[in-house]
Amino acid sequence: MYERKIPEDLDCGINITMKVLSGKWKPCIIDSIHKGVRRPVEIHAAIPAAAPRVINMQLRELEEFGIVTKKVFPDSVPLKVEYYLTPIGESVMPVIRAIERWGDENKEYVITTSATMESAGK
């Protein structure tokens, strides 16, 4: 990870969750794994917009936080790796679901609003 220079305030729960979930692709990664997408290549395929390197790094961070665990099959060739959600990882799913649901329900609105914003003042 990076070395923080600005201290973070972990007072309110919002910031705690954000510390774990912040990362452009982390919620998507968690959601994918929850859906049963376990192998790195599959995760990359599921989120093509993200560079593989970024997904690797965010997976590592999620692993450090105990959100996911990594299972390596040392004898299989080509090398096989699988990621699973830990119980803590499972416990964030309601949060991800809430985020996803709101987004799905307000997709139209957000897209048209942000389009309007761009054509107006920027």
- Where along the sequence are the contacts to DNA (CB under 7 A)? 1-6, 22-25, 39-41, 49-54, 56-60, 70, 72, 77-81
Cβ-count burial 43-56 (b if 16+ within 10 Å, e if not): bbebbeebeeebbe
Residue 72 has which token pair? 């390596």
Shortest Cβ 110–a second copy spacing (Å): 5
Residue 88 has which token pair? 């803590």
Determine which residue in the list 41, 45, 72, 117 makes contact with a second copy, applying CB under 8 A: 117
- 101 contacts a second copy (rule: CB under 8 A): yes
For 10, other C-beta atoms within 10 Å of its C-beta total 10
Shortest Cβ 40–a second copy spacing (Å): 19
